Amino acid sequence: MTSKERVLTAFVRNKPDRVPVNYMANSEIDRRLKEHFGLRLDDAEGLRQALGVDFRGVLVPYRGQKLHADIPERGVKVDDWGIHRRWVEHETGGYWDYCDFSLRDAGEEQIAAWPLPSPDDFDYSQAANDCERDRKYAIYAGSTGQADVINKGGMLRGTEQSLIDLITEDKAGMLLTHRRTNVQLDILRRTLEAAVGAIDFLWMGEDLGTQIAPLISLELYRKTIRPIHQRFVDLAKSFDIPVMIHSCGSSSWAYEDFVEMGIAVVDTLQPEAKEMAPEYLKRRFGGRLAFHGCISTAGPVATGTVQQTIAYCRKTLEIMMPGGGYCFAPTHQLQDNSPTENVLAMYDTARLYGKY
């Protein structure tokens, strides 16, 4: 099978020739993997090929003016949505952490005036060519950050205020949510149109759980977030493509709703979280949802030996593969504390033991 055929077969819960494979990683482990394979630091495609990755994304670059100034004296980068990030180093690398939360105390007037990127300022002209270049792979539009209410709201208003906004249906907070998601939805629509039928699925996300429990109630999800998510699912339906939704933590409590909404694939599948064990997910939802993820970035890949990594990945494959419908991927970005040899063993295991 081609990568495209392999992924789309898994997405309809059938058996491909082998388990599809995906890759996401933080910057330091990504650098080490490229060094291992003798690749340039900017050769992301070379690394995907070396690891046997079956997925590719289509991106439309922003060409508009910079809407929010960086704060170089504090080392703060500010993106075009107004989200503030600063680099935080740790013993194995570093990451861009969110800070400042500029709209934490903002009212409706300030949020209505807050500059957001216009869908008109993205360049859709290369989407079709990019899809043609990657036609053998499963091509997605969107990302884990598309349609997310809590995460992106928290990046601008702080997590606490973002949750209060939902519970109280705060007018300012909900205005921000609808402004953001309207822009995202329009960018996705234009991307799908520009690609002329060459995009295979839409990727969206919303982190709905902690490690031990749901982050919000099912009632609150249905009241405030599900209608927003449904608009993205309906957009995908209008282009006759499936939807994969990313959700960290204990999130299986929402999967019945995902099925009702028409979502085909669930992503992340953190096995340490409550009611997220591979056996539980496969038994309860295996006939109705496909799965993408399940290889913990906090488990043996990060903390074990090569042999422990192999054993862990083999066990996950043995649980998730029967009947089809599983894509092998890390639960989130592979972390910088993951030994290079463990990550290599992870992908070697998928190649050796992921065949049907």
Q: Which whole-number Å values give the CA distances from 297 to 24, 266, 317, 337, in the listed order? A: 10, 17, 16, 9
Burial (0-12, 13-18, 19+ Cβ within 10 Å), 116:
middle
CATH, domain 3-64+106-353, list 1.20.1260.10, 3.40.50.720, 3.20.20.210, 3.40.630.30: 3.20.20.210
Please list, in sequence order, all residues whose beta carbon lies within 8 angstroms of the beta carbon of residue 90, skipping any fewer than 6 positions away: 336
pLDDT digits 0-9 by tens, 185-196: 999 999 999 999
* Spatial separation of the C-alpha atoms in residues 3 and 80, rounded to whole Å: 34
Q: Which amino acid is at 62?
A: Y
Residue ranges in the chain whose pLDDT is less than 70: none
The dihedral sign for the CA sequence 223, 146, 255, 24: negative
pLDDT digits 0-9 by tens, 210-254: 999 999 999 999 999 999 999 999 999 999 999 999 999 999 999
Burial (0-12, 13-18, 19+ Cβ within 10 Å), 93:
middle
pTM, full prediction: 0.97
> What does residue 276 show for φ and ψ, rounded to 5 degrees?
-130, 10
